[in-house]
């Protein structure tokens, strides 16, 4: 008999999480989950409302005898990254997540699970109604669009953040307290193209799918293949021996997910076609061998396509070289935090139209200097051609808080009581909303923690069940001690 999610421990947490899985919540479409949270909070005796930007703010009174304690803010976000298998038909605006217990983990069938950050919502709502938890005044904040624009965090009022402590529940490594996170910048490139009609050519389509993908921050150091960059490597290698006319290239869904699929349509000379296909298969075999350990399901499909308007030979080659030259992946490890990536960049999306090819990239760094440096590297590649127009937007600066304060000491003491272990204080090579909050309340002591979630932002996302109990128990114990 299979184990139901709602029967796991802590039971109330997983009962709520099971309900959350039924509510679609892609970024920008958080109204239904916000309504669920507000109604739930009011039904358990808390005051709750949605601000003008869609954020949910809940206030819970202190338990008896704790009225004069410091205000603690518990925080997470409502939206999730919506990724599914290449053959999936899931509608993230309507369909519930089909989740199940798989040994020690919870995962979803053919989609992202949304434990990032649905588990924060579940833990906080369970805690607010748990009459056995002693605490001072509590505020819960759930934000919108964390996975895309960080709109919720950037627009949150200073008044909402007037507290002494903030516990962000959006990190994904049990056993770690995060006091620093990477900053980021959205980089958009438009590569202008002109199209021609060829003669005596044959068109073909190369599809790449079933890569491992993953979070462009948490998984960027794992060496997973990036579908866009793999295709650029294949085309670049073939361009040494064959004339290639680029017709279409598409790939990736989100700037903060490592692309799992992409396709390209090209035309080659009729006279060279057979030899080209033979060489293409050799290149495909080489890529499969290169990524056999990280992307064992890598799948290439080659089929005929229709001839059409294409980039001229010179421009096709220039763009192929340009795409391959763009930096991607981890570029530097942190000299401060052991085994943590300092700087990286993800080539997240590519789309071609009649007039241009658009590329979306997401550079990250734990340091402002590192972020500026990787952006400068991208700009330098763009400057090598007159066709590329680069724009930067949506900057989020790195966050770093003290590695020792009362909040950290209390949480560490409680975690040791629960698990027999101490937290490791470190940094996170991803963006959490703490970076926005600390700007609005410089006296706020804040950290980020959470249960282990493996491979977020991918269909392999799965959450460790035991870790939920450990983090929940740690936070509830800490609230009693925070004065």
Q: Which positions are annotated as active-site residues? A: 79, 146
Q: What is the CA radius of gyration of the chain?
A: 24
- Parallel, antiparallel, or unpaired: how do β-strands 165-168 and 399-400 relate? unpaired
CA torsion through residues 315, 362, 146, 111, sign: positive
> Distance (Å, rounded) from C-alpha 353 to C-alpha 370?
33
Do residues 121 and 76 make contact, with C-beta atoms less than 8 angstroms apart?
Answer: yes
C-alpha to C-alpha distance for 44 and 59, rounded to whole angstroms: 11
Cβ neighbours of residue 289 closer than 8 Å, sequence gap 6 or more: none
CA distance 76 to 10: 19
Distance from C-alpha of 140 to C-alpha of 74, rounded to nearest angstrom: 5
Helix 465-481, helix 406-419: angle, nearest 10: 130
Residues 247, 305 contacting (CB under 8 angstroms):
yes
∠ at Cα 15 (11, 20), nearest 5°?
145
Output the CA angle 343-347-349, nearest 5 degrees: 145
Label residue 29 exposed, middle or buried (CB < 10 Å: 0-12, 13-18, 19+): middle
Distance in angstroms (rounded) separating the CA atoms of residues 179 and 472: 19
Nearest to 473 by CA among 398, 415, 391: 415
> Taking a C-beta distance cutoff of 8 angstroms, is the pair 264, 205 a contact?
yes
- Cα(230)–Cα(107) distance, integer angstroms: 28
- What are the DSSP calls for 382-415, one per residue? HTT-SSEEEEEEEEE--EE--S-SHHHHHHHHHH
Q: Give 420's contacts (C-beta < 8 A, 6+ positions apart).
A: none
Question: 3-class DSSP state for residue 478?
Answer: helix
Check whether the bond before 15 is cis (ω within 30° of 0).
Answer: no
> 95: which DSSP letter?
P
């Amino acid at each position: 008999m299979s184990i139901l999610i709602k029967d796991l421990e802590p039971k109330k947490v997983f009962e709520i999480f099971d309900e959350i899985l039924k509510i679609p919540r892609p970024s920008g479409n958080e109204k239904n989950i916000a309504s669920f949270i507000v109604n739930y909070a009011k039904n358990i005796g808390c005051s709750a409302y949605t601000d003008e930007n869609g954020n949910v703010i809940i206030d819970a009174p202190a338990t008896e005898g704790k009225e004069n304690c410091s205000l603690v803010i518990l925080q997470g976000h409502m939206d999730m990254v919506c990724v599914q298998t290449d053959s999936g038909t899931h509608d993230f605006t309507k369909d519930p997540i089909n989740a199940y217990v798989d040994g020690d983990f919870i995962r979803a069938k053919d989609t992202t699970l949304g434990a990032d950050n649905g588990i924060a919502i579940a833990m906080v709502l369970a805690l607010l109604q748990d009459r056995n938890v002693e605490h001072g005044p509590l505020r819960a904040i759930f934000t919108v669009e964390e996975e895309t624009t960080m709109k919720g965090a950037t627009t949150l009022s200073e008044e909402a953040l007037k507290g002494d402590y903030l516990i962000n529940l959006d990190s994904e490594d049990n056993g770690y307290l995060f006091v620093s996170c990477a900053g980021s910048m959205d980089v958009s490139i438009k590569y202008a193209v002109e199209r021609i009609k060829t003669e005596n050519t044959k068109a073909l389509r190369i599809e790449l799918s079933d890569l491992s993908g993953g979070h462009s921050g948490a998984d960027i150091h794992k060496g997973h293949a990036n579908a866009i960059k793999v295709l650029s490597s294949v085309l670049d290698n073939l361009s040494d021996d064959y004339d290639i006319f680029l017709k279409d290239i598409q790939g990736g869904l989100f700037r903060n997910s490592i692309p799992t699929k992409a396709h390209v349509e090209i035309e080659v000379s009729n006279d060279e076609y057979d030899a080209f296909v033979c060489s293409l298969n050799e290149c495909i075999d080489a890529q499969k061998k290169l990524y056999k350990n990280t992307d064992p399901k890598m799948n290439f499909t080659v089929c005929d396509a229709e001839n059409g308007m294409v980039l001229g030979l010179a421009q096709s080659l220039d763009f192929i070289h340009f795409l391959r030259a763009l930096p991607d992946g981890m570029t530097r490890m942190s000299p401060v935090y052991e085994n943590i990536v300092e700087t990286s960049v993800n080539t997240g999306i590519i789309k071609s139209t009649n007039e241009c090819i658009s590329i979306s990239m997401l550079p990250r760094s734990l340091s402002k200097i590192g972020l500026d440096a990787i952006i400068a590297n991208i700009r330098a590649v763009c400057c090598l051609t007159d066709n590329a127009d680069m724009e930067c937007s949506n900057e989020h600066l790195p966050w770093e808080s003290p590695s020792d304060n009362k909040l950290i000491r209390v949480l560490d003491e409680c975690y040791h009581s629960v698990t027999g272990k101490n937290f490791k204080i470190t940094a996170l090579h991803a963006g959490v909303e703490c970076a926005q909050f600390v700007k609005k309340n410089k006296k706020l002591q804040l950290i980020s923690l959470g249960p282990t979630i493996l491979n977020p932002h991918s269909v392999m996302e799965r959450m460790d069940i035991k870790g939920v109990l450990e983090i929940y128990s740690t936070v509830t114990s800490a609230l009693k001690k925070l004065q």
